[in-house]
Amino acid sequence: MTEVTDKIQGLVDASDVVLFMKGTRDMPQCGFSSRVVGVLNYMGVDYQDVNVLADDDIRQGIKNFSDWPTIPQLYVKGEFVGGCDIITEMTLSGELDQLLDQKGIGYDKMAADKIREANA
């Protein structure tokens, strides 16, 4: 493994939920990152944010690590889940709830239901 891959693996392993994004949870720097942050924050998911704009090696390295070309990227218990479109679809279908339940990640179920109601 390369140094960047080791660093990314360490970040993924250090937290149950990790979001590689442009910007931070407090100040997303793109609409796609902002959408995923909005979902996670509204649902009360405890997650680590990693600003890929702060490190060019991680910005490119995460794409190689996951073999996924876009950012943001969400990892749950070390498993790559997807980017903005996939997280949005999973939220609206209830699959994200199921994944979080399966992995033992706490979240606000009522908030998740409200997201679905608002988008029905």
Binding annotation: 30
Report the Cα 118 to chain-centroid distance in Å.
21
Beta pairing partners, 58: none
**Count of beta carbons in the 10 Å neighbourhood of residue 84:** 21
Residues 59, 47, 99: CA angle, nearest 5 degrees: 100
Beta pairing partners, 75: 18, 80
Residue in the block written with tokens 């909005």: 38
- Feature table: binding site for [2Fe-2S] cluster: 30
